[in-house]
Structure 1
Amino acid sequence: MICSVICPSKRSDGKGVMRGFAGIIVARWSNAWRDVLFSSIAGAVAWLLSQKLLGHPYPVFAAIVALVSLAPGLPSHARQAVGMLVGVGLGILIGELALAVGSSMLLLRGSVATFVAMMLASSFGLGPVVPIQAGVSTILVLVMGPQTAGYVRLLDSCIGIVVALLFSQLLVTPDPVNLIKQAARKLLRDLGTGFSSSADALARADTSAAQAAMDKFSTAHESLNVLASSIGWARHAARWSLRGRISAGEINELAARYDRRSIRLYANALLFGEALANALRKNEAPIPSGLEGRVRDAARLCAALASGTTPENLAPAPALPLDTLPQSWRTCMDRLIAVEAALCTFAATASTGSQ
């Protein structure tokens, strides 16, 4: 009897854990696949270029440097590539000096040379890849000799770094300006859908439809998160990528336009949806005349901003009499007025930015 009660729950818990684990793995793959793909392509390109240009039959280091520089999860591929070059060059230099000193105690000489190379590499503050590469290059020079691991490794590394910089700075860097604009338009479209559904709920005085509209506002939070991530990535690109530096002025302008205003707009829309559902649920009085039209106007303004057009007339909507309304509808109107103010600010800054 005990087994019949406990075992099913264990099985169901196990399935839930497996689904959660599978979801985490899929999310990680989704975040990493793009960088993995391009790092693999860059490794192959670096290998072929080193073979064709330098005549090296097996340019392992060229492919490795390109792969490591473009690996997923790095805050800056360019910084990683520069760090690789500094680490390899410093390690080769220390290894050559250690060979020039000469000693029969290879292990002691290698340990001292590796320590010196990694300590010097730590001085640059370019991340852990620099001392790692410095230590590895020093050991390779001492063990394999400068003819195999010194000058040859440095040339292959230069090829890999050039390919990595070409990929990270130009070929595979998304347009940060379009990234912000697309995320902002997606948020506006989602909010516009919520306002349109709210207007339909008002037309039918349907409480369940108002609740569904509020759920659509809640769902738009994911689009808000995407916009925040896009702004953060674009700011990073403006600092660390060539394509971003070229568009740095426009990136900063878009980030300033959407960063806080998008949060304000989303919060007001969500509060309006909640207030509307509450007012319809209480059913205290007839729906205020003109409310449905103003909600539809908000939906149309969201759609217009999402499509990249800005209405010329941004005059405030005519005031509705609030004194005679019950508190639930008065709260709903207050939330709508806040939404309209946020949308007008959005539209005004978009119009200024497009001029």
Structure 2
Amino acid sequence: MRARQSTRGRLRAWWHRLPGSLHAWWHRLPGSLRARRHRVRANIGLAVQSALAAAISWLIAHDLLGHPEPVFAPIAAVGTLAGSIGQRLRNTVELVVGVALGVAVADGVVVGIGAGWWQLGLVTLLAIVASIFLGGGPALVTQAASAAVLIATLSPPETAGIYTARFWEALIGGLVSLAVIIAVPVRPLTLVRRAVDPILDVLAASYSDAGAALADADRDRANAALERLRGAENEIATMREALQAGLESARLAPVHWRKRGMLRRYVNASEFLMRSVRNGRVLARRCVTALDAGEPVPVCLPAALGTLAGAVARLRDELMSRTDEPRARDRLLEAAAQVGEAYAAGVGFSGHVIIAQVRAAAVDLLQATGVGPEDANVLVRAAVARRAPEQPPD
């Protein structure tokens, strides 16, 4: 009887928790879909390049070289483009060497001892061991093993001799992929902006919501800011990929060489944006805790978060601009001064953590604008000290 009542109690508790869980899932869903849409937009150029390279490499191998089934040419083209973005020159070399190695091993084994299940295992083992012995990376090991498996299963040689056509197909695919990158490059700045802007939007909206939550004692809004920052990992992964692809395009395509300076601004800022997202999660969590505990919230503390949100929005504009107007820096230092005032007014434990996170965000975002680390720390400490008789701990 007690067990039945215990079960009913657990079911009742689960039922009461369900609406909140559904509510949280429903609010996370748009962010997830938005992140996926941004990811698709950031990689649509890669998809177009891969399609062109596969089609052109097959056409060259089939019509110009006369290969009846040029499988390796489009595979090599797509493998080069879809591999580690930013390392396609290395990928091309490893891919061609890997295919040549796999073909040589497979042909040698199958011609010598025939084809079968245990020969397939032997071919795979030898191809991987040989590629590792040569010091190849993941691309070389994968291509060597894949080529060996394909030769040993789908098209084992009927006569002695290595199928050199496979090597030439791989070489064609790799070279065509590089030619496509140069002839049909992605627009690096557009690609990078589309990937970086969502992170800046998340930061600005989260700081703004956290500040409004403290001002209105709205725990749900503070928790929403926390959930938004927790869901930013997809945007961070997309940003990393976009930065690598953008830099590669700017290096290989002469038409984009003049854009390398602006791309470096985004690259330099990216690390500090990632730090700000991580620190922002701590800040938002402490806003929730401060509201739960009923800690004192001076008016200047939510105001500082609002100022910080405005600084992030300004930073977004400055990264896109060719000028160096330091308006974002002025707002970051104003946010630091406001948390100094909040410290002087008196806060609880979580309030102290929020102040420390605002200071950390100001230091990181100042560095994103191009200020050096030592100068950023000095500027933030000076801004805090202007309104706090006693310097709060870092």
TM range (shorter): 0.5 to 0.7
Residue type matched to 1:225 in 2?
E
2:100 equivalent to 1:123 = no
Query: SS in structure 1 opposite 2:330?
Result: coil
Q: Distance in 2 between matches of 1:98 and 1:273?
A: 65
C-alpha separation in 2, matches of 1:273 and 1:221:
14
Q: Is the CA contact 2:283–2:357 (under 8 Å) kept in the aligned structure 1? A: yes
What is the distance in 2 between the residues matched to 1:106 and 1:296? 73
Cα pair 2:107 2:151 within 8 Å, conserved: no
| Counterpart residue identity of residue 145, structure 2 | P
Task: Answer with 1 or 2: which has the greater Rg.
Answer: 1
Distance 1:61 1:344 in 2: 52
Q: Residue 170 of structure 2: which of 132, 146, 157 is its match?
A: 157
Q: Residue 254 of structure 1: CA displacement?
A: 3.1
Tell me the residue number matched to 2:355: 337
Match of 1:65 among 76, 85, 101: 76
Distance across 2 between alignment mates of 1:243 and 1:82: 20
Superposition RMSD on alpha carbons, in Å? 5.0
Match of 1:54 among 51, 56, 65: 65
Given the superposition, is the C-alpha separation of residues 223 and 303 from structure 1 closer, same or farther in structure 2, using an over 3 Å criterion? farther
Mapping of residues 213-232 of structure 1, within 5 Å? 213-226=221-234, 228-230=236-238
| Displacement of 1:83 | 3.6
Count of equivalent residues? 307
Q: 1:264 aligns with which of 279, 302, 315?
A: 279
Kindly provide the CA deviation profile for residues 37-62 of structure 1, in whole angstroms up to 9, marking residues without a partner as x: 75444322211233454354553332
Q: Partners in 2 of 1:106 and 1:269 — Cα distance?
A: 65
User: CA distance change for structure 1 residues 92 and 330 in 2, over 3 Å: closer, same or farther?
Assistant: closer
Query: What are structure 1's unaligned runs of at least 5 residues?
Result: 1-8, 10-15, 17-22
Task: Provide the secondary structure at the position in 2 that maps to 1:220.
Answer: helix
Alpha-carbon contact 1:87-1:134 (below 8 Å) kept: no
Unaligned regions of 5+ residues in structure 2, if any? 1-10, 12-21, 23-28, 319-326, 373-394
8 Å Cα contact 2:192-2:246 kept in structure 1: no
Q: Provide closer, same or farther for how the CA distance between residues 115 and 186 of structure 1 changes in structure 2, counting only shifts above 3 A.
A: closer
Equivalent residues of 1:189, 1:306 under 8 A apart? no
Change (3 A) 1:220 1:255: same
CA contact 2:99–2:147 (8 Å) conserved in 1: yes
SS in 2 for 1:352: coil
Aligned residue identity for 2:289: E
Aligned residue runs from structure 1 range 160-175, under 5 A: 160-166=173-179, 171=185
In structure 1, how many angstroms separate the alpha carbons of the residues matched to 2:48 and 2:369?
39
Q: Deviations over 1:73-128 (max 9, x none)?
A: x55684654343113323555678789xx98x7669x9599589625344233323
Query: TM-score when scaled to structure 2?
Result: 0.57
The C-alpha deviation readout for 1:206-226, integer Å capped at 9, x for no partner, is 44xx12321232122245423
Q: Give the Cα–Cα distance (whole angstroms) in 2 for the partners of residues 132 and 290 of structure 1.
A: 62
Residue 86 of structure 1 corresponds to 97
Normalised by the length of structure 1, the TM-score is 0.62
In structure 2, relative to structure 1, the CA distance for the partners of 1:346 and 1:269 (3 Å cut) is: farther
Q: Which residue of 2 aligns with 1:303?
A: 313
Paired with 2:286 and 2:125, the residues of 1 have a C-alpha distance of: 61
